[in-house]
Homo-oligomer: A and B are copies of this chain.
Amino acid sequence: MQLRDIITDKERLFLEKDVPEVYKTDFSYKEVATVHAVALPNTTQEVIDLVKFANKENIPIIARGAGTGVAGSQVPISGGELIIDVHQMNRILALDEETMTLTVEPGVKLNEIQVFVESKGYFYPPDPGSKNSTIGGNIATNAGGMRAVKYGTTRDYVRELEVVLPEGEKVTLGSLNIKSSSGYDLKNLFIGSEGTLGITTKIKLKVLPLPKYKQSVLLAFHTLKDATNGVLAILQNGIEPTALELFERGTIEYSEKYTKVLLQSQKGEAYVLMTIDSNEEETVTRKIDTVESILKGQAVEIIPLFTQEEEEKAWLLRDNILVALMQFTEYEMLDEVVPINKFSEMIDYTKELQTKHGLKVINFGHAGDGNIHTVLMKEGLDEATWQVRRQALLDDLYKKVNELGGLPSAEHGIGIIKKPYLEKMCNPVELDLMRKIKNAIDPDTRLNPGKLF
Protein backbone atom coordinates (compact mmCIF):
# COMPACT_ATOMS: atom_id res chain seq x y z
CA MET A 1 0.00 0.00 0.00
CA GLN A 2 1.19 3.48 -0.88
CA LEU A 3 0.20 6.85 0.60
CA ARG A 4 -1.91 7.49 -2.51
CA ASP A 5 -3.98 4.41 -1.64
CA ILE A 6 -4.71 5.75 1.86
CA ILE A 7 -5.38 9.38 0.98
CA THR A 8 -6.97 9.23 -2.45
CA ASP A 9 -7.86 12.93 -2.85
CA LYS A 10 -4.96 14.73 -4.48
CA GLU A 11 -5.56 17.91 -2.50
CA ARG A 12 -5.10 16.02 0.78
CA LEU A 13 -1.63 14.64 0.06
CA PHE A 14 1.63 16.44 -0.71
CA LEU A 15 4.75 14.46 -1.57
CA GLU A 16 8.36 15.55 -1.03
CA LYS A 17 9.05 18.57 -3.26
CA ASP A 18 5.36 19.49 -3.37
CA VAL A 19 5.17 19.93 0.39
CA PRO A 20 4.25 23.57 1.11
CA GLU A 21 6.90 25.53 3.01
CA VAL A 22 4.48 26.25 5.85
CA TYR A 23 4.91 22.67 7.06
CA LYS A 24 8.56 23.29 7.86
CA THR A 25 7.77 25.94 10.45
CA ASP A 26 5.48 27.00 13.25
CA PHE A 27 5.05 30.46 14.81
CA SER A 28 8.57 30.39 16.22
CA TYR A 29 10.91 27.99 14.52
CA LYS A 30 11.99 27.02 11.04
CA GLU A 31 13.97 24.03 9.83
CA VAL A 32 15.20 23.04 6.43
CA ALA A 33 14.72 19.29 6.83
CA THR A 34 13.15 17.52 3.87
CA VAL A 35 9.65 16.24 4.53
CA HIS A 36 8.63 12.87 3.10
CA ALA A 37 4.98 13.78 2.78
CA VAL A 38 2.10 15.69 4.28
CA ALA A 39 -1.22 13.86 4.58
CA LEU A 40 -4.51 15.46 5.64
CA PRO A 41 -6.76 12.68 6.92
CA ASN A 42 -10.51 13.13 7.30
CA THR A 43 -11.14 10.14 9.55
CA THR A 44 -9.61 8.21 12.41
CA GLN A 45 -9.30 5.21 10.10
CA GLU A 46 -7.14 7.24 7.73
CA VAL A 47 -4.93 8.27 10.67
CA ILE A 48 -4.59 4.60 11.63
CA ASP A 49 -3.72 3.60 8.06
CA LEU A 50 -1.15 6.39 7.82
CA VAL A 51 0.49 5.35 11.10
CA LYS A 52 0.59 1.71 10.01
CA PHE A 53 2.08 2.75 6.67
CA ALA A 54 4.78 4.75 8.46
CA ASN A 55 5.58 1.73 10.63
CA LYS A 56 5.92 -0.52 7.60
CA GLU A 57 8.15 1.96 5.82
CA ASN A 58 9.98 3.02 8.99
CA ILE A 59 9.14 6.70 8.57
CA PRO A 60 8.91 9.10 11.54
CA ILE A 61 5.60 10.89 12.10
CA ILE A 62 4.67 14.39 13.23
CA ALA A 63 1.05 15.21 14.02
CA ARG A 64 0.07 18.78 13.29
CA GLY A 65 -2.98 21.01 13.70
CA ALA A 66 -3.12 24.73 12.98
CA GLY A 67 0.65 25.15 13.16
CA THR A 68 0.31 27.97 15.69
CA GLY A 69 2.75 26.35 18.15
CA VAL A 70 5.60 28.46 19.46
CA ALA A 71 8.09 25.84 20.66
CA GLY A 72 8.92 24.04 17.44
CA SER A 73 6.95 20.92 18.46
CA GLN A 74 5.42 20.44 15.01
CA VAL A 75 8.50 21.27 12.99
CA PRO A 76 10.31 18.42 11.15
CA ILE A 77 13.92 18.17 12.26
CA SER A 78 15.17 14.67 11.55
CA GLY A 79 14.26 14.76 7.86
CA GLY A 80 12.02 12.43 5.94
CA GLU A 81 9.01 12.77 8.26
CA LEU A 82 5.42 12.04 7.39
CA ILE A 83 3.37 14.98 8.69
CA ILE A 84 -0.19 14.05 9.59
CA ASP A 85 -2.10 17.30 9.50
CA VAL A 86 -5.46 16.78 11.24
CA HIS A 87 -6.86 20.25 10.68
CA GLN A 88 -9.52 18.93 8.30
CA MET A 89 -10.85 16.61 11.03
CA ASN A 90 -12.77 19.61 12.26
CA ARG A 91 -16.31 18.60 13.10
CA ILE A 92 -18.15 19.43 16.30
CA LEU A 93 -19.86 16.08 16.81
CA ALA A 94 -22.22 16.45 19.78
CA LEU A 95 -23.16 18.52 22.79
CA ASP A 96 -24.50 16.23 25.52
CA GLU A 97 -26.36 18.40 28.01
CA GLU A 98 -26.93 15.51 30.45
CA THR A 99 -23.22 14.91 31.01
CA MET A 100 -22.24 18.49 30.05
CA THR A 101 -19.74 17.28 27.47
CA LEU A 102 -18.86 18.39 23.96
CA THR A 103 -17.48 15.83 21.50
CA VAL A 104 -15.15 17.24 18.86
CA GLU A 105 -12.55 16.20 16.34
CA PRO A 106 -8.97 17.40 16.93
CA GLY A 107 -8.92 19.98 14.12
CA VAL A 108 -11.72 22.13 15.55
CA LYS A 109 -10.41 25.57 16.39
CA LEU A 110 -10.58 26.93 19.91
CA ASN A 111 -12.59 29.91 18.76
CA GLU A 112 -15.19 27.67 17.09
CA ILE A 113 -15.61 25.71 20.32
CA GLN A 114 -16.04 28.86 22.38
CA VAL A 115 -18.60 30.40 20.01
CA PHE A 116 -20.53 27.15 19.65
CA VAL A 117 -20.90 26.35 23.35
CA GLU A 118 -21.65 29.94 24.31
CA SER A 119 -24.48 30.00 21.76
CA LYS A 120 -26.01 27.10 23.73
CA GLY A 121 -25.53 28.72 27.15
CA TYR A 122 -22.35 26.81 28.05
CA PHE A 123 -18.79 27.82 28.72
CA TYR A 124 -15.43 26.28 27.75
CA PRO A 125 -13.02 28.05 30.13
CA PRO A 126 -9.52 27.43 28.67
CA ASP A 127 -8.61 30.51 26.67
CA PRO A 128 -5.12 30.47 25.12
CA GLY A 129 -4.14 33.62 23.25
CA SER A 130 -4.23 31.95 19.85
CA LYS A 131 -7.93 31.46 19.11
CA ASN A 132 -7.00 29.81 15.80
CA SER A 133 -5.13 26.98 17.50
CA THR A 134 -6.81 23.57 17.25
CA ILE A 135 -8.13 21.68 20.26
CA GLY A 136 -5.80 18.80 19.38
CA GLY A 137 -2.85 21.16 19.71
CA ASN A 138 -4.25 22.61 22.93
CA ILE A 139 -4.28 19.08 24.35
CA ALA A 140 -0.77 18.32 23.08
CA THR A 141 0.64 21.26 25.05
CA ASN A 142 -1.90 21.42 27.90
CA ALA A 143 -2.60 24.95 26.77
CA GLY A 144 -3.51 27.40 29.51
CA GLY A 145 -4.30 30.98 28.64
CA MET A 146 -6.19 33.79 30.28
CA ARG A 147 -8.71 32.09 32.52
CA ALA A 148 -6.48 29.45 34.15
CA VAL A 149 -6.22 31.45 37.38
CA LYS A 150 -9.85 30.64 38.18
CA TYR A 151 -10.70 27.71 35.90
CA GLY A 152 -7.49 25.71 35.32
CA THR A 153 -5.93 24.58 32.05
CA THR A 154 -6.94 22.37 29.11
CA ARG A 155 -6.12 19.28 31.20
CA ASP A 156 -8.97 20.11 33.56
CA TYR A 157 -11.54 20.06 30.73
CA VAL A 158 -10.64 16.83 28.92
CA ARG A 159 -12.96 14.01 29.92
CA GLU A 160 -12.07 11.46 27.26
CA LEU A 161 -9.50 11.13 24.47
CA GLU A 162 -9.48 8.81 21.48
CA VAL A 163 -5.84 8.29 20.58
CA VAL A 164 -3.99 6.45 17.82
CA LEU A 165 -0.86 4.89 19.32
CA PRO A 166 2.60 4.73 17.68
CA GLU A 167 1.93 1.36 16.03
CA GLY A 168 -1.55 2.28 14.81
CA GLU A 169 -3.72 0.83 17.58
CA LYS A 170 -6.68 2.93 18.68
CA VAL A 171 -7.51 3.42 22.35
CA THR A 172 -9.90 5.55 24.40
CA LEU A 173 -8.47 7.10 27.57
CA GLY A 174 -10.51 8.64 30.36
CA SER A 175 -14.30 8.42 30.52
CA LEU A 176 -17.46 10.34 31.31
CA ASN A 177 -17.27 9.15 34.90
CA ILE A 178 -16.58 11.93 37.37
CA LYS A 179 -14.47 9.73 39.64
CA SER A 180 -12.05 6.92 38.86
CA SER A 181 -9.76 4.66 40.81
CA SER A 182 -9.60 2.02 38.09
CA GLY A 183 -6.00 1.77 36.94
CA TYR A 184 -3.34 4.23 35.83
CA ASP A 185 -4.36 7.72 34.75
CA LEU A 186 -3.25 7.46 31.11
CA LYS A 187 -5.39 10.37 29.96
CA ASN A 188 -3.32 12.89 31.92
CA LEU A 189 -0.10 11.24 30.73
CA PHE A 190 -1.06 11.84 27.09
CA ILE A 191 -2.23 15.42 27.70
CA GLY A 192 0.78 17.71 27.36
CA SER A 193 2.97 15.02 25.78
CA GLU A 194 3.42 17.13 22.60
CA GLY A 195 2.54 14.39 20.17
CA THR A 196 5.26 12.04 21.37
CA LEU A 197 2.96 9.28 22.66
CA GLY A 198 -0.06 9.26 20.37
CA ILE A 199 -2.23 11.20 17.93
CA THR A 200 -5.52 12.49 19.32
CA THR A 201 -8.43 11.78 16.97
CA LYS A 202 -11.51 12.54 19.09
CA ILE A 203 -12.10 14.43 22.32
CA LYS A 204 -14.89 14.76 24.86
CA LEU A 205 -14.57 18.08 26.64
CA LYS A 206 -16.21 19.16 29.85
CA VAL A 207 -18.25 22.35 29.57
CA LEU A 208 -19.73 24.48 32.34
CA PRO A 209 -22.87 26.57 32.52
CA LEU A 210 -22.02 30.04 31.16
CA PRO A 211 -21.65 32.43 34.12
CA LYS A 212 -24.50 34.95 34.03
CA TYR A 213 -22.48 38.08 34.73
CA LYS A 214 -18.98 39.28 33.96
CA GLN A 215 -17.12 42.52 33.87
CA SER A 216 -13.58 43.61 33.08
CA VAL A 217 -11.54 46.41 34.60
CA LEU A 218 -8.37 47.99 33.27
CA LEU A 219 -5.85 49.01 35.90
CA ALA A 220 -2.95 51.28 34.98
CA PHE A 221 0.18 51.55 37.16
CA HIS A 222 3.13 53.93 37.23
CA THR A 223 5.68 51.12 37.29
CA LEU A 224 5.88 47.41 36.60
CA LYS A 225 6.65 46.88 40.29
CA ASP A 226 3.41 48.68 41.26
CA ALA A 227 1.53 46.42 38.85
CA THR A 228 2.95 43.17 40.28
CA ASN A 229 2.18 44.44 43.78
CA GLY A 230 -1.35 45.15 42.62
CA VAL A 231 -1.69 41.60 41.33
CA LEU A 232 -0.65 40.15 44.68
CA ALA A 233 -3.08 42.44 46.53
CA ILE A 234 -5.94 41.25 44.29
CA LEU A 235 -5.11 37.57 44.86
CA GLN A 236 -4.57 37.93 48.59
CA ASN A 237 -7.94 39.61 49.07
CA GLY A 238 -9.81 36.57 47.80
CA ILE A 239 -11.10 38.26 44.64
CA GLU A 240 -10.78 35.06 42.53
CA PRO A 241 -10.55 36.83 39.18
CA THR A 242 -11.48 34.93 36.03
CA ALA A 243 -8.54 36.53 34.26
CA LEU A 244 -5.68 38.68 35.51
CA GLU A 245 -3.44 39.71 32.64
CA LEU A 246 -0.39 41.90 33.01
CA PHE A 247 1.35 43.75 30.20
CA GLU A 248 3.82 46.59 29.87
CA ARG A 249 3.16 49.76 27.89
CA GLY A 250 6.09 48.72 25.68
CA THR A 251 4.27 45.45 24.92
CA ILE A 252 0.76 46.69 24.25
CA GLU A 253 2.10 49.40 21.92
CA TYR A 254 2.77 46.72 19.30
CA SER A 255 -0.81 45.61 19.56
CA GLU A 256 -2.11 49.19 19.34
CA LYS A 257 -0.08 49.68 16.19
CA TYR A 258 -1.30 46.40 14.68
CA THR A 259 -5.00 46.79 15.51
CA LYS A 260 -4.99 50.59 15.05
CA VAL A 261 -6.91 50.84 18.31
CA LEU A 262 -5.71 52.63 21.45
CA LEU A 263 -5.93 51.09 24.91
CA GLN A 264 -8.38 52.93 27.17
CA SER A 265 -5.51 54.07 29.37
CA GLN A 266 -2.40 55.74 27.99
CA LYS A 267 -0.95 56.51 31.42
CA GLY A 268 1.64 54.52 33.31
CA GLU A 269 4.22 51.88 32.45
CA ALA A 270 2.23 48.72 33.12
CA TYR A 271 -1.36 47.49 33.05
CA VAL A 272 -3.47 44.77 34.59
CA LEU A 273 -6.58 43.68 32.72
CA MET A 274 -8.89 41.83 35.07
CA THR A 275 -12.22 40.05 34.55
CA ILE A 276 -14.63 38.96 37.26
CA ASP A 277 -17.48 36.54 36.54
CA SER A 278 -20.29 35.14 38.68
CA ASN A 279 -23.86 33.96 38.56
CA GLU A 280 -24.73 36.77 40.99
CA GLU A 281 -24.56 40.33 39.67
CA GLU A 282 -23.92 41.69 43.18
CA THR A 283 -20.84 39.49 43.54
CA VAL A 284 -19.30 41.01 40.41
CA THR A 285 -20.07 44.54 41.61
CA ARG A 286 -18.85 43.90 45.12
CA LYS A 287 -15.55 42.39 43.93
CA ILE A 288 -14.86 45.24 41.55
CA ASP A 289 -15.62 47.74 44.31
CA THR A 290 -13.19 45.88 46.57
CA VAL A 291 -10.44 45.99 43.94
CA GLU A 292 -11.01 49.72 43.45
CA SER A 293 -10.75 50.40 47.16
CA ILE A 294 -7.63 48.22 47.60
CA LEU A 295 -5.78 49.79 44.67
CA LYS A 296 -7.00 53.39 44.82
CA GLY A 297 -3.68 54.67 46.15
CA GLN A 298 -1.47 52.44 44.00
CA ALA A 299 -2.98 52.65 40.53
CA VAL A 300 -2.73 55.64 38.17
CA GLU A 301 -6.10 54.86 36.64
CA ILE A 302 -8.85 52.36 37.30
CA ILE A 303 -11.18 52.03 34.32
CA PRO A 304 -14.19 49.69 34.59
CA LEU A 305 -15.17 48.52 31.11
CA PHE A 306 -18.93 48.75 31.37
CA THR A 307 -20.02 48.05 27.80
CA GLN A 308 -19.38 44.89 25.82
CA GLU A 309 -17.72 47.05 23.19
CA GLU A 310 -15.22 48.52 25.66
CA GLU A 311 -14.48 45.07 27.08
CA GLU A 312 -13.92 43.56 23.64
CA LYS A 313 -11.61 46.42 22.68
CA ALA A 314 -9.31 45.84 25.64
CA TRP A 315 -9.26 42.06 25.15
CA LEU A 316 -8.67 42.41 21.40
CA LEU A 317 -5.54 44.39 22.21
CA ARG A 318 -4.40 41.78 24.71
CA ASP A 319 -5.13 38.86 22.36
CA ASN A 320 -3.21 40.44 19.48
CA ILE A 321 0.09 40.96 21.28
CA LEU A 322 1.73 37.92 19.72
CA VAL A 323 0.46 38.54 16.20
CA ALA A 324 1.56 42.17 16.44
CA LEU A 325 5.05 41.21 17.58
CA MET A 326 5.29 38.80 14.65
CA GLN A 327 4.25 41.59 12.28
CA PHE A 328 6.57 44.35 13.41
CA THR A 329 9.67 42.99 15.05
CA GLU A 330 12.13 40.15 15.57
CA TYR A 331 11.93 38.64 19.01
CA GLU A 332 11.96 35.48 21.11
CA MET A 333 9.01 34.85 23.37
CA LEU A 334 9.45 32.78 26.53
CA ASP A 335 6.85 31.01 28.61
CA GLU A 336 8.32 30.60 32.07
CA VAL A 337 6.20 29.96 35.15
CA VAL A 338 7.03 30.41 38.83
CA PRO A 339 5.05 29.80 42.01
CA ILE A 340 2.69 32.72 42.46
CA ASN A 341 4.56 34.15 45.47
CA LYS A 342 7.69 34.50 43.29
CA PHE A 343 5.97 36.23 40.38
CA SER A 344 7.01 39.77 41.31
CA GLU A 345 10.61 38.71 41.96
CA MET A 346 10.81 36.97 38.60
CA ILE A 347 9.43 39.94 36.67
CA ASP A 348 11.89 42.27 38.44
CA TYR A 349 14.73 39.97 37.51
CA THR A 350 13.89 40.09 33.78
CA LYS A 351 14.43 43.86 33.95
CA GLU A 352 17.79 43.38 35.69
CA LEU A 353 18.78 41.09 32.84
CA GLN A 354 17.80 43.74 30.30
CA THR A 355 20.43 46.05 31.80
CA LYS A 356 23.01 43.33 32.41
CA HIS A 357 22.94 41.88 28.89
CA GLY A 358 22.06 44.97 26.82
CA LEU A 359 19.02 43.30 25.32
CA LYS A 360 15.59 44.90 25.47
CA VAL A 361 13.13 42.80 27.48
CA ILE A 362 9.38 43.32 27.63
CA ASN A 363 6.85 41.22 29.50
CA PHE A 364 3.27 40.20 29.36
CA GLY A 365 1.62 37.29 31.02
CA HIS A 366 -0.96 35.54 33.06
CA ALA A 367 -0.22 37.25 36.34
CA GLY A 368 -2.79 35.27 38.27
CA ASP A 369 -0.96 32.02 37.77
CA GLY A 370 2.68 33.04 37.76
CA ASN A 371 3.09 32.52 34.01
CA ILE A 372 5.21 35.19 32.34
CA HIS A 373 5.77 35.69 28.64
CA THR A 374 9.10 37.44 28.68
CA VAL A 375 9.98 38.72 25.20
CA LEU A 376 13.59 39.29 24.14
CA MET A 377 13.74 41.95 21.41
CA LYS A 378 16.30 41.60 18.67
CA GLU A 379 15.68 45.15 17.44
CA GLY A 380 18.66 46.52 15.49
CA LEU A 381 21.20 43.91 16.66
CA ASP A 382 23.21 41.95 14.12
CA GLU A 383 22.68 38.19 14.20
CA ALA A 384 25.97 37.33 15.94
CA THR A 385 25.52 39.86 18.77
CA TRP A 386 21.88 38.84 19.20
CA GLN A 387 22.81 35.16 19.53
CA VAL A 388 25.54 35.82 22.10
CA ARG A 389 23.45 38.16 24.27
CA ARG A 390 20.31 36.08 23.89
CA GLN A 391 22.09 32.91 25.01
CA ALA A 392 23.72 34.59 28.01
CA LEU A 393 20.41 36.13 29.05
CA LEU A 394 18.52 32.84 28.68
CA ASP A 395 21.09 31.01 30.79
CA ASP A 396 20.67 33.55 33.59
CA LEU A 397 16.91 33.66 33.27
CA TYR A 398 16.27 29.92 33.43
CA LYS A 399 18.74 29.59 36.30
CA LYS A 400 16.60 32.06 38.23
CA VAL A 401 13.37 30.29 37.21
CA ASN A 402 14.86 27.07 38.57
CA GLU A 403 15.97 28.72 41.83
CA LEU A 404 12.45 30.04 42.35
CA GLY A 405 10.95 26.57 41.86
CA GLY A 406 9.61 27.41 38.42
CA LEU A 407 9.44 25.56 35.11
CA PRO A 408 10.63 26.42 31.58
CA SER A 409 7.17 26.16 30.01
CA ALA A 410 3.74 26.89 31.45
CA GLU A 411 1.64 26.32 28.36
CA HIS A 412 3.59 26.44 25.07
CA GLY A 413 5.49 23.19 25.52
CA ILE A 414 9.14 22.27 25.34
CA GLY A 415 9.31 21.32 21.66
CA ILE A 416 12.79 21.89 20.31
CA ILE A 417 13.40 25.37 21.59
CA LYS A 418 13.31 24.67 25.33
CA LYS A 419 14.83 21.17 25.29
CA PRO A 420 18.21 22.21 26.68
CA TYR A 421 16.52 24.04 29.56
CA LEU A 422 14.18 21.21 30.45
CA GLU A 423 17.23 18.97 30.59
CA LYS A 424 19.04 21.38 32.90
CA MET A 425 16.08 22.15 35.15
CA CYS A 426 14.49 18.75 35.47
CA ASN A 427 15.79 16.23 37.99
CA PRO A 428 17.67 13.50 36.04
CA VAL A 429 15.61 10.82 37.79
CA GLU A 430 12.40 12.46 36.56
CA LEU A 431 13.77 12.84 33.02
CA ASP A 432 14.78 9.20 33.10
CA LEU A 433 11.21 8.23 34.08
CA MET A 434 9.90 10.23 31.12
CA ARG A 435 12.32 8.50 28.77
CA LYS A 436 11.38 5.08 30.11
CA ILE A 437 7.71 5.80 29.48
CA LYS A 438 8.38 7.13 25.98
CA ASN A 439 10.42 4.04 25.23
CA ALA A 440 7.74 1.70 26.62
CA ILE A 441 4.95 3.23 24.53
CA ASP A 442 6.92 4.20 21.42
CA PRO A 443 9.98 1.91 21.29
CA ASP A 444 10.76 2.82 17.67
CA THR A 445 10.57 6.57 18.37
CA ARG A 446 7.95 6.78 15.67
CA LEU A 447 6.15 9.86 16.97
CA ASN A 448 7.67 13.34 16.93
CA PRO A 449 11.31 12.24 17.27
CA GLY A 450 13.76 14.69 18.79
CA LYS A 451 11.15 16.68 20.68
CA LEU A 452 10.72 17.25 24.41
CA PHE A 453 13.87 15.36 25.60
Interface size class of A (residues with CB under 8 A): 35 or more
CB-CB contacts below 8 Å: A410-453 with B: 410-414, 418, 422, 425-427, 429-431, 433-434, 436-441, 452-453
For the complex of A and B, the 4 pairs showing the least CB-CB separation, nearest first, are A98-B341, A440-B440, A188-B188, A179-B410
- Check B433 against A186 for contact (C-beta < 8 Å): yes
Decide yes or no whether A370 CB sits under 8 A from chain B: yes
Residues on B with beta carbons closer than 8 Å to the beta carbon of A191: 185
The distance in angstroms between the C-alpha atoms of A185 and B172, with both chains bound, is: 18
Residues on B with beta carbons closer than 8 Å to the beta carbon of A155: 185
User: Chain A: interface secondary structure?
Assistant: loop
Decide yes or no whether A135 CB sits under 8 A from chain B: no
Decide yes or no whether A380 CB sits under 8 A from chain B: no
The distance in angstroms between the C-alpha atoms of A98 and B98, with both chains bound, is: 38
Decide yes or no whether A149 CB sits under 8 A from chain B: yes
CB-CB contacts below 8 Å: A250-302 with B: 279-280, 283
Residues on B with beta carbons closer than 8 Å to the beta carbon of A413: 181
With A183-B452, A410-B180, A437-B440: A430-B341 Cβ-Cβ less than 8 Å: no
With A209-B238, A426-B183, A429-B171: A178-B149 Cβ-Cβ less than 8 Å: yes
Binds B, one of A39-47, A223-231, A400-408: A400-408
CB-CB contacts below 8 Å: A33-83 with B: none
20 chain-A/chain-B pairs, Cβ below 8 angstroms: A99-B339, A148-B178, A176-B339, A177-B370, A178-B340, A179-B337, A179-B369, A179-B411, A181-B413, A182-B414, A182-B418, A182-B426, A183-B426, A183-B452, A184-B193, A184-B437, A185-B191, A188-B189, A189-B437, A209-B238
Residues on B with beta carbons closer than 8 Å to the beta carbon of A371: 178-179
State the copy count for this chain. 2
> How far in angstroms is the closest Cβ of chain B from A259?
27
* Chain B residue with the shortest CB-CB distance to A187: B188
With A149-B178, A178-B369, A188-B189: A98-B171 Cβ-Cβ less than 8 Å: no
- Check B181 against A99 for contact (C-beta < 8 Å): no
Decide yes or no whether A173 CB sits under 8 A from chain B: yes
> How far in angstroms is the closest Cβ of chain B from A306?
23
Q: Can you add 14 more A-B contacts, CB < 8 Å, to A176-B339, A181-B192?
A: A98-B340, A142-B185, A148-B178, A149-B178, A165-B433, A177-B370, A179-B370, A179-B371, A179-B410, A181-B409, A182-B408, A188-B189, A209-B238, A280-B280
The distance in angstroms between the C-alpha atoms of A169 and B438, with both chains bound, is: 19
> How far in angstroms is the closest Cβ of chain B from A431?
8
List A residues at the B interface (Cβ < 8 Å).
Answer: 96, 98-99, 141-144, 148-149, 153, 155, 165, 169-173, 175-186, 188-189, 191-193, 209, 238, 279-280, 283, 335, 337-341, 366, 369-371, 405-414, 418, 422, 425-427, 429-431, 433-434, 436-441, 452-453
Residues on B with beta carbons closer than 8 Å to the beta carbon of A182: 407-410, 414, 418, 422, 425-426
- Check A341 against B99 for contact (C-beta < 8 Å): yes
- Check B436 against A441 for contact (C-beta < 8 Å): yes
Residues on B with beta carbons closer than 8 Å to the beta carbon of A209: 238
The distance in angstroms between the C-alpha atoms of A405 and B366, with both chains bound, is: 37
- Check B409 against A180 for contact (C-beta < 8 Å): yes
Q: Name the contact of A177 in the complex, choosing from B189, B337, B412 (C-beta under 8 A).
A: B337
- Check A178 against B337 for contact (C-beta < 8 Å): yes
- Check B192 against A142 for contact (C-beta < 8 Å): no
Residues on B with beta carbons closer than 8 Å to the beta carbon of A426: 182-183
With A427-B171, A434-B186, A440-B440: A179-B98 Cβ-Cβ less than 8 Å: no
Q: Name the contact of A183 in the complex, choosing from B339, B412, B453 (C-beta under 8 A).
A: B453
> How far in angstroms is the closest Cβ of chain B from A98?
4
> How far in angstroms is the closest Cβ of chain B from A389?
25
Residues on B with beta carbons closer than 8 Å to the beta carbon of A338: 177
Residues on B with beta carbons closer than 8 Å to the beta carbon of A434: 183-184, 186
Residues on B with beta carbons closer than 8 Å to the beta carbon of A279: 238
> How far in angstroms is the closest Cβ of chain B from A318?
17
* Chain B residue with the shortest CB-CB distance to A183: B434
The distance in angstroms between the C-alpha atoms of A408 and B98, with both chains bound, is: 22
